[in-house]
Structure 1
Amino acid sequence: MELAQQRVLVTGADGFIGSHLVEELIRVGADVRAFVFYNAFNSFGWLDHLPNPIKSQIDIVSGDIRDPYVVREALRDRDIVFHLAALVGVPYSFHAPQTYVDTNIKGTLNVLQAALELEVKRVIHTSTSEVYGTARFVPITEEHPLHGQSPYAATKIAADQLALSFYHAFAVPVSIIRPFNTYGPRQSLRAVIPTIIAQMATGARRIKLGSLRPTRDFTYVKDTVRGFTAMAQSDSSVGQVINIGSNDEISIGDLVQLITEVMGVEAEVEVDTDRLRPLTSEVERLWADNSKARQLLGWTPEYHGRDGLTRGLRETVAWFTDRANLRGYKPYMYNL
């Protein structure tokens, strides 16, 4: 399915990945409706920061993914829905698990039910590598057991299974994209890469972090967005769960060293106990097997290996060190 002229809805369009996806969909000629979280400030999140020629082409709808009526109205007359709206921070899920259930599970149900009733052509549901928990084998294939080590991960597992149930029970054309740790411009400081960069960009030379031991498969946002569009364009992805990752891993400790090299500064790490996950909740290792994406979607990461990660970090550092961008962050605070 070509995306040009397709009528699409992007939930969570005001967020990090969602805003990048909206940009790309406009670029390829899709008719884009962006579902953003309602607030009294009339803020459209990161969509407010897009260039005017792009913003002028977006139909922005404010609402709450937890409201089934609002979701159904947003989906009316759409061909494709990219469902990204979710609460994504792991630490905050320890404090507010009920909110994660309401948003991630019930919000997904609202999208699926509306898609069923309105006969939407495609539903691209967003999963996360956190559903795997600590790797039992690497690289992690889509057949790896699911293990919810946080309320966030548990709600995403539930949402994924709910999405698959609508495919099996009602023939809703659902595809599940499972990105590994996406990074890049506009990401919040709940994630480790912008946390490191933003602290150093404001002059800190003692970087506060949690555990340095875990490894992650970092995927640049441009590659993740290409994964979303490839999922929508491939009929082979219907009914499938597909990893989007770089097929590489790096420890947080080694990541810090790489970022200091990219930024040309020296820094020490101070382990902040407030940032440590509960002992058995920490996901110690993530490393994606992306062969299914290659086979079904023709997708491969353009930013892969150490060279690709370095290139992505350079682009990310350039964005965060722009004073106009950095001004919107509070690097001195721990962002749950």
Structure 2
Amino acid sequence: MKILITGADGFIGSHLLEQLIRLGYDVRSFVYYNSFNSWGWLDSFPADIKQSLDVFAGDIRDPHGVKEAMKGCDVVLHLASLIAIPYSYHSPDTYVDTNIKGTLNVLQAARELGVSKVVHTSTSEVYGTALYVPINEDHPMQGQSPYSASKIGADQMALSFHRSFETPVAVIRPFNTYGPRQSARAVIPTIITQLASGKEKIKLGALSPTRDFNYVKDTVSGFISIMNSEKSIGEVINIGSNYEISIGDTAKVITEVMGMQIEIETDEVRLRPEKSEVERLWADNTKAKELIGWTPAYGGIEGFKRGMKETADWFSDPINLSQYKADVYNI
């Protein structure tokens, strides 16, 4: 089985690629073309993994390139997207092109080439602020940012291909994934990189919203479980820890595992518009457990602390920390 991963150069994609290679899968990596010939996080892989890389540099917005990359592949794990919410306020048009039209390109190519499985990546942001908790897959979708609206469109495009053409599509809906290599635009790396850089006062946005944080190893195992399950075709499946924690309490956990004390300053630039802020996310992962046999290894407060310790240790390594700009707000 040959697997194509779009967005393989990113945070979750690089972890997924590395794990699949270690498990012996034959994987092709679709990375974003650039003149620096950078393969994103793939450039940091150990030598034994680099030897197994099959890299295709292109642009998910280009249907020809997407189809070329997919030739000879049996399964597509589609992760390529724009994900930063603040940047979606700034440049929403790019989110439509990348997230919706990019997904359409993947689906069209998969249909024409007869690919046996497409796993499309959704996000818990499509639910918006929880109307009830825990959030199951039947919860209404609410576009509270241009980003979440684009992902709702992409999800519906993927499911429409299954209904219209019997394209074998499954939709994975991870809740807030964290871990090594995550962009500093996300709250956990924002806190850790500021602390690891020696700051005692750190800048954050709203502290009251709650999230269901999912360690990246659990998200990766969710992808693999959905990929290998025939029962997942035509389904939307939450991948979450079923544990809710506020941003403020998350900061406290980070200071605990890092053995540091901090003072938090509210940075107005980091606050979302009032009606755009998602106030509460908490995953119901019953369907994942019952349908595909997936359970989080880092669930609950103890699992969260273990995942946070692994994350903080990685970011605190000077080599890794040097790749981040802790003094600059990354939208």
Partner of 2:266: 271
What is the CA distance between 1:84 and its match in structure 2? 0.1
In the aligned structure 2, how far is the partner of 1:58 from the partner of 1:42?
Answer: 15
**Which structure 2 residues correspond to residues 292-311 of structure 1 after superposition, within 5 A?**
292-311=287-306
Amino acid paired to 1:104: N
In the aligned structure 2, how far is the partner of 1:181 from the partner of 1:315?
Answer: 16
Partner of 1:146: 141
| 1:293-336 alpha-carbon deviations (Å, 9 max, x no partner) | 00111000000111000000000000000000000000101010
Amino acid paired to 2:178: Y
Amino acid paired to 2:144: Q
Q: 1:61 and 2:90 equivalent?
A: no
Q: Of 185, 189, 192, which aligns to 1:197?
A: 192
| 1:123-167 alpha-carbon deviations (Å, 9 max, x no partner) | 000000000000000000000000000000000000000000000
Partner of 2:4: 9
Q: Of 112, 115, 133, which aligns to 1:117?
A: 112
Q: Which runs of 5+ in 1 are unaligned?
A: 1-5
What is the CA distance between 1:264 and its match in structure 2? 0.5
Which secondary structure does the structure 1 equivalent of 2:29 belong to?
Answer: strand
**Which structure 2 residues correspond to residues 1-336 of structure 1 after superposition, within 5 A?**
6-336=1-331
Which secondary structure does the structure 2 equivalent of 1:88 belong to?
Answer: coil
Which secondary structure does the structure 1 equivalent of 2:314 belong to?
Answer: helix
Which secondary structure does the structure 2 equivalent of 1:277 belong to?
Answer: coil
Which secondary structure does the structure 1 equivalent of 2:254 belong to?
Answer: helix
What is the CA distance between 1:55 and its match in structure 2? 1.3
In the aligned structure 1, how far is the partner of 2:156 from the partner of 2:246?
Answer: 30
Q: Which runs of 5+ in 2 are unaligned?
A: none
- Once superposed, what is the RMSD of the aligned Cα atoms? 0.4
**Identity among equivalent pairs (%):** 65
In the aligned structure 2, how far is the partner of 1:264 from the partner of 1:87?
Answer: 34
Which secondary structure does the structure 1 equivalent of 2:16 belong to?
Answer: helix
Amino acid paired to 1:26: I
Amino acid paired to 2:109: A
In the aligned structure 2, how far is the partner of 1:159 from the partner of 1:95?
Answer: 20
| 1:269-291 alpha-carbon deviations (Å, 9 max, x no partner) | 10000000001000000000000
Amino acid paired to 1:253: G
| 1:239-269 alpha-carbon deviations (Å, 9 max, x no partner) | 0000000001000011111111111010011
Amino acid paired to 2:315: F
Amino acid paired to 1:93: S
Partner of 1:3: none
Structure 1 outlier segments of 4+, above 4 Å: none
In the aligned structure 2, how far is the partner of 1:158 from the partner of 1:19?
Answer: 25
In the aligned structure 2, how far is the partner of 1:58 from the partner of 1:21?
Answer: 13
